[in-house]
Chains A and B, each alone.
Chain A
Amino acid sequence: MIVTRREAWTGQLLLVLLMAVTVIPFVSLFVTALHPSGTYPPGLDWPTHPRWSNFADAFRAAHMDELLISSALIVLGVVPVSLLIGTMAGFAIGHLRMAGRRLVFLAFVLGLTLPFEGIITPLYYQIRDMGLLNTRWAIILPLIGLFMPFSVFWMRAHFINMPEELSEGARIDGANVWQLFWRIHVPLAMPALSSLAILLFLWTWNQFLLAIVLVDDPAKRTMAGALGAFQGQWGTDIPLLCAGSLLILAPTLVIFLIFQRRFVSALLQGSLKG
């Protein structure tokens, strides 16, 4: 490719600038978190005596240990079930090509861009009538339903490209439909499944609206929902708020940095499809 030196330079400069714009807010959050609590420090200022203990204070104030467990429980409740039933439906529509699949698929596709606010009011009364208000089920069960459009859409896109011969062979060997699905198609779908798992994890962990509407106790919410409550409680103590926000961000950041390759490709593909 013909690349002039000037073009390469402007490209690199722009890239560094863009990264700076992305990272500086986090840096500001970090240095502010080190100031004595209750003060109003300037935006980007390294304190003379960094107060690392702010993080410990915020950890206690936010009940981080409870929050981590709560979010983990919610993720465990949502992600495996969504993966399983979403994959089964995607398999039925994309590979088994059941009767009436077009209609079913259309019903799911229309839910792809549904804003959660659109159904939150009746959902509240429904969850109340089920007696699930203020429990983790109030977040888990609706999220499974709300994730179905994307999960089914995603897995159908995978199964529709699977060759028919694969099933033919298994069928001749006497496999029934479930064995065909579980033994042959699920193992082959692992790349698509793991990307979907990452996306669902992220969307569950960061879920805010359902958490603040359906669960009052921050200790039973997702991380994002708890952060909202933390802000309400400590909003005037800027350094403590910054420390708490960073702590609440930390688990996703760590997981993101470990699995960054998968995350980036999952997010890119995810938005291309969704």
Chain B
Amino acid sequence: MARPTLDTAADPATARLALTTVRPPRRFARRGRRRGGRWTGWLFAAPALAAYAIFVLRPLFLTIEYSLYRWDGIGPSTWVGLDNYIKVFTDPDLFGTILNAFKLIVFFSAIPVLLGLAIAATIRRIATSRLALVARTVLFLPQVIPLVAAGITWSWLLASTGLINQLLSYVRLNGVTRAWLGDFATALPAVGMIGAWVLLGLCTLLLLAGMSKIDPALYEAARIDGAGPVREFFSITMPSLRQEIGVCITVTVVAALASFDIVYVSTQGGPGNTTMVPGLEIYYQAFSERQVGVASALAVVLMALVLACVLPIQWLAREEQR
């Protein structure tokens, strides 16, 4: 699972440099090829670039343009400068969606990563057993099914007659049973739990894969020195997993900020606005409220937020490799 870093990228280049110096007769052919490759390369990249430019970059720039206008999608549009952005940050309903997205990070990221770490550390030693091989398949199920299906399944589990309440009554906790997704106090955490369920297996398996790459001799040595499982975890496991933890946090944070499918099918943003997230708000603003400008401003803010969260995580996770 090579992560293409600057180091690996430099490898073939150094190799080629070494070759050219060792074998001068080939130099001409090589240089000729390189000049050819430099421009035919563009022909090879052109179809991908075209698809990317037409269906991603163009809409991306248009989003920025739309965000500066007031437009209902049909009639003429009026230039309003940064008014839409001011609205995104001052309107409590719109800004609330951004706050909700950050609250979801607690459930989508913190729970799967922390729980995943604990679970992976516990099952690390039996990672090659038969049971663990079966688990590899089972734990991936939530990743394979559509998020919409996860949303529908959990709406049913969390409904007033659903399994969660059935279990709670079983342990005599009748007092806390409720329609979890319909209650103002519990709807957002309930949506968060759906996300945690989807992402927990992926995080556990990613972290487990990372742990299996750690030299077992390190653990042997720690055992001989009398270290317990806890000490082992903080002194050996954690420091070696920086990259995997970085990946888990990146994937889960993006999933939280850009959540749409799960919320759309389980709560539609309700009750009230308690589970409204930016993705869903963009959809409503653009296609129900016909506020294309506001929708676009929120979209730009969302994309900026994703980058602002992802880039530092990537940078931190990569730092240790130098």
Contact = CB atoms under 8 A, between A and B. Distances in A.
Given A24-B163, A160-B12, A121 B223 contact: no
Contact of A231 (B123, B265, B306): B265
A189 interface: no
Contact of B286 (A16, A86, A121): A121
B201 A22 contact: yes
Contact of A120 (B36, B49, B138, B286): B286
B45 A93 contact: yes
A152 to B, nearest CB: 6
Contacts of B25: none
Nearest to A171: B33
Nearest to B4: A157
A15 B135 contact: yes
Nearest to B247: A272
Interface string B289-306: 000100110011011001
A12 B51 contact: no
A26 B144 contact: no
B48 A88 contact: yes
Interface stretch (A41-49, A51-59, A60-68): A41-49
B158 to A, nearest CB: 10
B238 interface: no
Interface string B28-70: 0110011011111111110111011111111110110010000
Contacts of A141: 51, 55
Given A2-B223, A208-B148, A256 B51 contact: no
Given A19-B135, A89-B48, A161-B8, A231 B56 contact: no
Contacts, number: 347
A269 interface: yes
Interface residues of B, number: 122
A84 B134 CA distance: 34
A41 B159 CA distance: 11
Contacts of A42: 161, 163, 166
Contacts of B57: 107
A43 B166 contact: yes
A75 to B, nearest CB: 13
A264 B140 contact: yes
Sorting the interface of chain A by its residue count into under 10, 10 to 19, 20 to 34 or 35 or more gives: 35 or more
B52 A208 contact: no
B85 to A, nearest CB: 15
B52 A126 contact: no
Contacts of B206: 268, 271-272
A92 interface: yes
Interface string B66-91: 10000001000000000000000000
* Majority SS at the chain B contact face: helix
B164 interface: yes
B282 A114 contact: no
Contacts of A256: 140-141, 144
A132 B1 CA distance: 40
Contacts of B236: none
A121 B295 contact: yes
Given A142-B55, A269-B1, 20 more contacts: A25-B163, A25-B197, A85-B47, A88-B44, A93-B41, A107-B52, A115-B303, A117-B278, A126-B55, A141-B55, A145-B56, A157-B2, A161-B8, A164-B16, A168-B26, A209-B261, A224-B261, A227-B152, A228-B148, A231-B265
Interface of B: 1-4, 8-9, 11-12, 15-16, 19, 26, 29-30, 33-34, 36-45, 47-49, 51-60, 62-63, 66, 73, 119, 122-126, 129, 131-132, 134-150, 152-154, 156-157, 159, 161-167, 197, 200-202, 204-206, 209, 216, 219-220, 223, 229, 244, 247, 250-251, 254, 257-258, 260-261, 264-265, 278-279, 282-283, 286-287, 292, 295-296, 299-300, 302-303, 306-307, 310
12 contacts: A23-B138, A32-B156, A43-B164, A89-B49, A115-B257, A122-B58, A124-B286, A160-B8, A164-B12, A205-B146, A227-B152, A271-B202
